[in-house]
Amino acid sequence: MMQRMNRIEIETVLNKDRAWLLETVSAILPDDLYRGVTQSEHDPKVMWSMADHFVHTSLIEHNWNAMVRKHFAGAPDAVGMRTNADGTPKSREEVMAGIHAWTEEWADKHRGKSLDELVAVGQNARGETLTLLAELTDEQLQSKIPGAPWADGTVGAILAANAAHGRMHFKYAKDGLEAAK
């Protein structure tokens, strides 16, 4: 069984990976940062840039923070994306179509912003995460969110997964950029 992370380990991985991501993304030439490198999963006519991938991670971080807060407020379905308004389950295809539309809308909202503006969006999300981390007890960090498919489903592991999410999207974008050259 996987050992659960404590708050020091969670904050450390969040800070180290955020610093790595900021240093790495800021070293990318603007032409490469804003060039379309991967096909949108919502609209195949749209190409996502490294900047789109970078700001996408902030949306997910905001969403996971809200999910954690809903969980502790007693929401029966804090994850929220797997059921219709009437409580019936959505198919995987319906879930993914909704997620892709939602993330495309976020990318559209931020497309064309400067790197400094995108970093500020991420700072806002990370600030929320660190504030949330400070508010939670050790027991709450080990609490499982029913239906959460990320990490091991515990609050702490989901918060820590924001670090790997940034690296994962950087890899997608980097691979797309290399394939485009």
pTM higher than 0.85 for the full model? yes
Helix H or strand E encompassing 94: helix 92-110
**Taking residues 70-85, what's their average pLDDT?**
89
**Topology (CATH) of 7-21+48-180:** Four Helix Bundle (Hemerythrin (Met), subunit A) (1.20.120)
Judge whether 127 and 119 are in contact, CB under 8 Å: no
pLDDT tops 60 at residue 3: no
Q: Mind listing the pLDDT tens digit for each residue in 140-157?
A: 999 999 999 999 999 999
Nearest residue to 53 via CA among 45, 41, 65: 41
- Which pLDDT score is estimated for 84? 82
Structure tokens at 121: 């969006």
